[in-house]
Amino acid sequence: MLVRLTMICNGATAATRRGSFPLDEPLEPRSLTQAKAMRGTLRRADRAWTAPALRARQTAEALSLDASVEPLLADQDYGSWAGKGFEEQQPGDIAALLTDPNAAPHGGESLADVGRRASALMDSLIAEPGHTIALTHASVIRTAIVHVLGAPLAACRKIDIEPLSITDFRSDGHRWVLRACGVTTPKPTKPLRP
């Protein structure tokens, strides 16, 4: 039995371009254009899921996927930090968030919480034959990768997930393997100046 999970990171928003903690805001126009250009590159899927956030749902729509909302794919909840930049937080709080997977922003959730959700999703999907495409967020993809590799959650901070990148997992129904990570489709290039 072959099980395939393709996770696609949502496109960029104004908050992510500023380096701020994400809000539930729309994709920037450039990301919509890039997502639409990816439409023909995805393989047929038996099911498509999306995180609840607007940016994930818009990415799914731009890819022409009829995706149902899956709450386990939700981004890390940054609580009162949502929409604010790193510089607006206390340095000690930021250091804790970046070094301790159990640290949570004020009123939000920890990376360990996200990891538990991602693990639960993958554990339930391992026995589901076919191909699932999941539109989600970098934090969920990172935790899924470390879950499959059996790596500590702290390793998430060393994984870069680019907007609109693809991470592919495969399973034989008993264990997951990471097949590809960080795959991006070619972006439109600017003509070279003479």
List pLDDT tens digits, range 52-108. 999 999 999 999 999 999 999 999 999 999 988 888 888 888 888 889 999 999 899
What local confidence, expressed as pLDDT, does residue 89 receive? 87
CB contact set of 116 (below 8 Å; sequence gap of 6+): none
Rounded Cα–Cα distance for residues 102 and 104 (Å):
6
List of E strands, the chain: 3-9, 47-50, 68-69, 130-136, 166-171, 176-183
- Residue 187 above 60 pLDDT? no
| Residue whose pair of structure tokens reads 């702290």 in the numeric block | 154
Domain assignment present for residue 192? The answer is no
Provide the number of structural domains found in the chain: 1
Q: Which amino acid, one-letter code, is at 127?
A: A
- Residue 160 above 90 pLDDT? yes
- The mean-pLDDT minimum among 87-101, 134-148, 153-167 falls in 87-101
Mean pLDDT (whole number) for 121-146: 96
CATH number of 140's domain: 3.40.50.1240
Q: Considering all CA atoms of the chain, what is the largest pairwise distance in Å, rounded to the nearest integer?
A: 56
Domain assignment present for residue 67? The answer is yes
- Residue 192 above 50 pLDDT? no
Domain assignment present for residue 193? The answer is no
Q: How confident is the model at residue 127 (pLDDT cuts 50, 70, 90)?
A: confident
| Residue 191 or 29, more confident | 29
- Residue 135 above 50 pLDDT? yes
Provide the residue range defining the domain that includes 26: 3-183
Domain assignment present for residue 76? The answer is yes
Mean pLDDT (whole number) for 108-125: 96
Q: What is the mean pLDDT of the chain?
A: 91
What local confidence, expressed as pLDDT, does residue 193 receive? 52
- The order of strands in the sheet holding 47-50 is 68-69, 47-50, 130-136, 3-9, 166-171, 176-183
- Between the CA of residue 164 and those of 11, 63, 114, 131, 151, what are the distances in Å? 5, 10, 20, 18, 24
What's the token pair of residue 90? 């206390």
Mean pLDDT (whole number) for 111-119: 97
Domain assignment present for residue 75? The answer is yes
What local confidence, expressed as pLDDT, does residue 181 receive? 87
Q: What percent of the chain has pLDDT over 70?
A: 95
Rounded Cα–Cα distance for residues 70 and 106 (Å):
25
Domain assignment present for residue 190? The answer is no
Quick count: other Cβ atoms within 10 Å of Cβ 130?
A: 14
